[in-house]
Chains A and B, each alone.
Chain A
Amino acid sequence: DDKLLSEPLSHPDFFSVKELFTLKDLFDARVHLGHKKGCRHRFMEPYIFGCRLDQDIIDLDQTMQHLQLALNFTAHVAYRKGIILFVSRKRQFCHLVERTARECGEYAHTRYWQGGLFTNAHIQFGPGVRLPDLLIFLSTLNNVFEPHVAIRDAAKMNIPTIGVVDTNCNPCLITYPIPGNDDSPAAVEFYCKLFRMTIIRAKDKRRQSEAIEELR
């Protein structure tokens, strides 16, 4: 059992996450498009490649590295049977995100965030709840263009977060930010596809390893 858990940690890319996407895929999914110069957040300046006709372009090389780290982390969490919660407050993609979560066998929250969901969990849900082990934000802002409350709550409860940060978002409290577009349907579908593939791959690998261990 110990070997099952410690073996993936010795490899840098145990689940071969790099093969899932290329720079051209990112470009075709319009992940590099940001908001206008006036909407730019100060802390996103290191991730921006340049500005063209007032529109910010995100540096896809950095996005590739961040995306690889984030997908590797989700794969490890899914391998160790952690609870993953998809969060997005974009009304356009609410149905898509819920469908992705259902297909992976994980959980989603694309609705109004009630105040004490994490911090007051024992009273909201009941004694003995297990909180999520990873939060994935498909969009870090809520409908009023403010940072989503779940980022702060996850930081309070020591839950690691992965988030797609656009040029108008604050990447501070997110453990694995992914600079990229969160508004185009093409980009969001691309992210959903990637997360779904990593989680399913990690779970299949876990089942295979368990089967091999049982055979011994």
Chain B
Amino acid sequence: TLRLIYTTTAVERKNVGASGPEKYTEAFIKKQIEEFNLGKRHLANMMGEDPETFTQEDIDRAIAYLFPSGLFDKQARPMMKHPTEIFPEQRKIQWGEDGRPFHFLFYTGKQSYYSLMHETYEKLLSVQKYQDQVTAQGLPLQKEKRNLAGSRWLTKIELEEMLLEKLSDDDYSRFIQLLQKLVALPCADIEEKYIQKFSKEVPVQLQKVVIEPLQYDERGVAFSTGEGTRKTARATAVVHDNGTGKITVNGTDILHYFPVLQDREQLLFPFQFLGRIGKYDMVCTVSGGGRSAQAGAIRLASAKALRSFVTEKEVEFMRQAGLLTVDPRVKERKKPGQEGPRRKFTWKKR
């Protein structure tokens, strides 16, 4: 038995730092869910809507109306969501009443990670056994290359969320190496379902952008429109087929509107890149910005319009040449204590 000889109030005070991150008990989460449901009904009453059919979108709209906030970060604004989305999932107690842990790898410390490695290794062994059986029977092994271009493995953060456990970089790289080893075997198709749990589809960049179809005007000539911006200039371009290469800007010819050669070169660049200089006619409208900004805006607009006339491969070439990317550079603001965005005041030694 320990005999308490001398103690101070400081010793008896609760050590907040040593207890680790806040642990949410099941009872606490249940209470939060009840409070949330009650609050939802109150909110529906306040807004004059039916409490039974009050969805999460209605809640979001109601909160945005009752508590308007000008903060930029969406996570910082007032929100009312279901407790399971707010409180992160935590591990419950790992052992039963008699003290025996539930999982057989509990004493390693990282039980879910090591059990995952154990399972994956078991799949690897089973695939090797199947391979041996197939070669024993004399049948040829299937060698279909799995399409790795359109898929990626889970990131470390996603894996941590899946396992509810902290991982180190080393652990994560080991797991990915094991998965790659499994996939490299010829007969890995058997465990396809298991592997799909850890791979995600990466959509090709082009699939997100919808290329509009060609429109035809009264004379039967194909045309398409495009919009472009650069700094403060906004431009719209209409490209007609079966043309002579005439370009009109805001009602005037480009020779009169852009006296400088550099701006005219910028306008012609998309057509020159595709090799179709004398084939199209273009009518554009542009406003805002300066001389160079307007030229850049029209260039982007015409490139976007040309997408409808051209094959997918050429669209990919245009994208890689940078013709379809919006130039994000804008004028940087001036900071206090400096003369300009970057220039500091003259430094005087004394």
Contacts and interface: CB of A to CB of B under 8 A. Distances in A.
- Is B truly associated with A? yes
Interface in B75-122: 93-95, 98-101, 104-110, 114, 118, 121-122
A95 B118 contact: yes
Interface string A58-87: 000000000000000000000001010100
Given A102-B104, A111-B114, A126 B93 contact: yes
A98 B105 contact: yes
A105 B93 CA distance: 19
Interface residues of A, number: 21
B206 interface: no
A5 B99 CA distance: 19
Contacts of A98: 104-105, 118
Contacts of B104: 98, 101-102, 105-108
Nearest to A135: B107
A129 B108 contact: no
Interface of A: 81, 83, 85, 95, 98, 101-102, 105-109, 111, 114, 117, 124-126, 129-130, 132
Contacts of A117: 107, 109
B166 to A, nearest CB: 12
Given A95-B125, A124-B109, A107 B93 contact: no
A104 to B, nearest CB: 9
Contacts of A132: 107
Q: Which of A81, A85, A98, A129 has the most CB of B within 10 A?
A: A98
A61 B146 CA distance: 56
B78 to A, nearest CB: 35
Contacts of B109: 114, 117, 124
A95 B125 CA distance: 10
What 3 A-B pairs have minimum CB-CB distances, sorted nearest first? A130-B99, A102-B104, A114-B109
5 contacts: A81-B98, A83-B100, A106-B104, A109-B108, A129-B99
Contacts of B114: 111
Given A83-B100, A107-B101, A114-B109, A129 B95 contact: yes
Contacts of B93: 126
Contacts of A106: 104
Nearest to A104: B104
Contacts of B95: 129-130
Given A81-B98, A95-B125, A130-B100, A107 B118 contact: no
A72 B121 CA distance: 33
Contacts, number: 45
Interface of B: 93-95, 98-101, 104-110, 114, 118, 121-122, 125
A124 B106 CA distance: 11
Contacts of A105: 104
Contacts of B105: 98, 107-109
A108 B118 CA distance: 12
Given A107-B104, A107-B105, 8 more contacts: A102-B104, A109-B105, A111-B110, A111-B114, A114-B109, A124-B109, A126-B93, A130-B99
Nearest to A131: B107
Contacts of B101: 83, 107, 130
B107 A95 contact: no
B127 to A, nearest CB: 14
A107 B99 CA distance: 13
A89 to B, nearest CB: 12
Given A95-B118, A95-B121, A95-B122, A107 B107 contact: yes
A178 to B, nearest CB: 22
A106 B105 CA distance: 9
A176 to B, nearest CB: 20
A124 B110 CA distance: 11
A113 B90 CA distance: 24
B171 to A, nearest CB: 10
Nearest to A121: B107
A117 B114 CA distance: 16
Nearest to B115: A98
Contacts of B108: 109, 111
A107 B122 contact: no
Contacts of B106: 107, 125
A105 B107 CA distance: 14
A155 B123 CA distance: 37
A109 B107 CA distance: 7
Contacts of A129: 95, 99
Given A125-B94, A130-B99, A85 B118 contact: no
A109 B106 CA distance: 8
A83 B109 CA distance: 16
Contacts of A102: 104
A94 B108 CA distance: 13
